[in-house]
Structure 1
Amino acid sequence: MAATVGCMRYLLVGATTPLRRSTSLPSSSSFSSWTWKPNPISFPIQNHAFRSPEKFFTPLAAASPFDLSPPPIDLDLLDLWLGSLQDTVTEAGAEVSEAGIIETFDNDDEALDAVDNGVVVVDLSHFGRIRVSGDDRIQFLHNQSTANFECLQEGQGCDTVFVTPTARTIDVAHAWIMKNAVTLVVSPVTCGSIIEMLTKYIFFADKVEIQDITKKTSFFVLVGPKSHQVMEDLNLGALVGKPYGTHQHFMVNGMPITVGVGNAISEDGFSFMMSPAIAGSVWKALLSQGAIPMGSNAWEKLRIFQGRPAPGKELTNEFNVLEAGLWNSISLNKGCYKGQETISRLITYDGVKQRLWGISLSGPAEPGSPITADGKKVGKLTSYACGRTESEHFGLGYIKRQAASNGNTVIVGDNIAGTVVEVPFLAWQSPPSKSSGP
């Protein structure tokens, strides 16, 4: 636990914008008993020294109840974000949309290079965050999505897919199992519809409550081979090497933050969910350890390069969950759930007729363009991104299983040559065995 406390030496980087209303800790979860000794060192992270950590951080007593979802604030995200993080990023040259999304730091190529050779930090606070609470929450989510929630314990996590009754894809959600709730991170375009869908399936006797906590939290991710070193330098090394979805709770400036293993792009890297009141402080702390800021424009390119399917593009009513290759999110041994019958038939009768691939292109191509091989249409391009050089073009697309595979050549649109390639996110997926867990 000493290492846990030590991490605050770096995260406590100064006072944030004062809250306009009084705040108090919610009462619904707990830390185990531990002791803490103040460290009298000051921390010159923001060009001036700060008081020692005990002035900012009060450890929770063993009997103090504590739940990280949602954090103890009742202001809209925008109110706090404008005073906390936006000032920081605009000073760094960020372009921010009217919706408050950081689009670019005018360093997209540098940030993409850092994904391969360093570490980037990305603000994904516009992604949806849903809190599912109540005594029946685990069984409810177990029945409404593809992962095995009943085998998970507090402090663990997983990916799960929300599908239609015929196993057509809606979205992939990242789930954290907390003491009194499950927190789901979903795409910004599906958050509302998923909440509506889940609410629809709550029956009268179900003890389940659904809350949208997107505006009550901020959310960052770390990506890149040096993300482990950043965690070590912040004394968060206890999470390095832990299974995907593992998460722990901390306090920064008296406000809650959850740090988890993995992110929306890969099983490597880390995720941070926190009160918006401390978002600016945490952001600066990560930058101080060498993380390069990345905007949403570069993030979308990274998503395509990595092969992570997205709602409205690769995840639609046209494609089922197995065609999308989301094997790591599917359990075959948990019994009935929405879409289970279709998934079982597809596996039993080898009914998956197409699959998602990466495609290295000779030029720009429009999503929706047909993919042909030997003069026959065999698929469709679903996403496109230009690379860091004029000659680098890449896309994602569904291709019939018997028509092409890794290394084969296809034509996209009228005359754009493409080479079918594996992409990291899909390469990590593996068909589950009948004895597997989530």
Structure 2
Amino acid sequence: MPTSAIDAQDAAAIQAVKEGVVVCDRSHWGLIRVSDDHRIRFLHNQSTNDFQSLKPGQGCDTVMVTSTARTIDLVTAYVLEDAVLLLVSPNRREFIMQWLDRYIFFADKVQLTDVTDETATLSLIGPGSDGIIEKLGAGAIIGQPYGNHILVNDGVIVAVGSGLASPGYTLILPVAEKQKLWNEILALGAVELSDRAWDALRILEGRPTPDAELTDDYNPLEVGLWQTISFSKGCYIGQETIARLNTYKGVKQNLWGIKLNAPAEIGATITVGDEKVGKLTSYIETAEGYFGLGYIRTKAGGVGLQVQVGETTGEIVAVPFVSHEYP
């Protein structure tokens, strides 16, 4: 994970996200195909969102959690006619395959297939992405809800949502078609976004990632992933804990952005006065300055709070990917 300044090329790509369009190769992210008759019911019982309300052509973000509602990964699901595709974080691909397999019992008709190596995943990000989607023959998807997707020529799935808070689309396609489509997208004016620039963007926008913001120490309500949680769907792994936290307003800490005045170390203790109030979980140095993500105790405050982060100071700011409002 980067702890130093991004270069000029990455800075230009991040700027293009605000004003134009970038393309990011996410093919190293895990892609798991869940098929057979019980696939929807199975996924409904294994994560935080309501799969039984989804129809083919729709999708959602959902969180895989432990039995005590600790976060494993933030997953994007796309419901197809005959299967569900799960886009999972690169460092959670094998873990989630094994995790889901543990919950398939003898009578369950559920098949798990890791299709990462035979597929490619690209994200188009920025206000200019609509124009490219139109030229790729997927204009019908523009303006549809998050997670909705259509199939276009050469077996390309085009889905609403960039993977970040910025507008855009995710494309899933056979790996044999990747180079051709990549070249076509660049020819249509997209700027390449490197993995390093993606990570900088996800920090600036507040997208949590495993081993940093998504760990055994935090639950989805503390992260602020309200949009991924159904409070009406009934029983699932971790449901009792999440329901109790929501009912009794029991969230003790929240994930926030932190505008820093100098470099900081990931893992640094965050204090207000003499009191420890949190921990820095991610950090990036950009052209605009130093920025991090961290958990802050709810009682300490939120936006505008002045904090000490290790040897430097900072201010708590909102980040668009997460929310801390009780719905």
Q: TM-score range by the shorter chain?
A: over 0.9
Structure 2 Cα separation of the partners of residues 309 and 386 of structure 1: 17
Rg larger in 1 or in 2? Answer: 1
Aligned to 2:23, the other structure's residue is in SS state strand
What does 1:277-426 align with in structure 2 at a 5 Å threshold?
277-389=176-288, 392-414=289-311, 416-426=312-322
Tell whether the 8 Å contact from 1:131 to 1:211 is kept in structure 2 after alignment.
yes
Shift of 1:106: 7.0
| Amino acid of the structure 1 residue aligned with 2:198 | W
1:173 to 75, 86, 104: 75
* Equivalent residues of 2:138, 2:150 under 8 A apart: no
Q: Within the alignment, does 1:150 sit opposite 2:49 as a pair?
A: no
Q: Find the residue that maps to 2:321 and give its secondary structure.
A: helix
Q: 1:329 to 1:431 in 2, by over 3 A?
A: farther
Deviating beyond 3 angstroms after TM superposition, the runs of 4 or more aligned structure 1 residues are: 429-432
**Partner amino acid for 1:259?**
V
Return the letter of the residue paired with 1:168: R
Structure-1 residue corresponding to 2:119: 217
Amino acid at match of 2:152: F
Residues in 2 aligned to 1:386 and 1:200: alpha-carbon distance in whole angstroms: 41
TM-score, with length taken from structure 1:
0.72
CA separation of 1:263 and 1:365: change in aligned 2, threshold 3 A: same
Q: Tell whether 2:89 aligns with 1:193.
A: no
Secondary structure of 2:182's counterpart equals helix
Deviation string, structure 1 residues 403-430 (Cα, Å, up to 9, x no partner):
021011101002x111100011114x76
The alpha carbon displacement at 1:375 in A equals: 2.0
Residue 267 to residue 260, structure 1, CA distance change in 2 (3 Å): farther
More strand by share: 2
Q: Which amino acid aligns with 1:418?
A: G
Aligned match for 1:246, one of 137, 141, 148 = 148
**Is residue 159 of structure 2 the alignment partner of residue 260 of structure 1?**
yes
1:233 is aligned to 2:135: yes
- Contact residue 328 and residue 430 of structure 1 kept, 8 A: no
What SS is found at the alignment partner of 1:407?
coil
After superposition, the C-alpha distances for 1:278-328 in whole angstroms (9 at most, x for unaligned) are: 101111111111110011011110110010000000000011111011100
CA deviation profile, 1:122-175 (whole Å, cap 9, x unmatched): 000000000000100000000000000000000000001000001000001000
Asked if the contact 2:22/2:125 (under 8 Å) is kept, the reply is yes
Conserved 8 A contact 1:261-1:267: no
- The answer to whether the 8 Å contact 2:269/2:280 transfers is yes
Contact kept? 1:120, 1:294, Cα under 8 Å: yes
Per-residue deviation at 1:431? 4.3
Partner amino acid for 1:404? G
In 2, Cα distance between equivalents of 1:286 and 1:205: 45
Amino acid at match of 1:251: N
CA-based RMSD of the aligned residues comes to 1.4
Segments of structure 1 that go 5 or more residues without pairing to the other structure are 1-103, 433-438
Name which of 97, 115, 123 aligns with 2:25.
123
Once residues 147 and 430 of structure 1 are traced to their aligned partners in structure 2, the CA distance between those partners, rounded to angstroms, is 18
Query: 1:270 deviation in Å?
Result: 0.1
The secondary structure found in structure 2 opposite 1:279 is: helix
Query: TM-score, normalising length from structure 2?
Result: 0.96
1:221 to 1:332, Cα distance in 2 relative to 1, 3 A: same
AA in 2 matched with 1:124 = R
State the alpha-carbon separation in 2 of the partners of residues 283 and 137 from structure 1. Answer: 32
The percent identity for this pair of structures is 49
d(CA) in 1 for partners of 2:287, 2:143: 31
The residue aligned with 2:3 is none
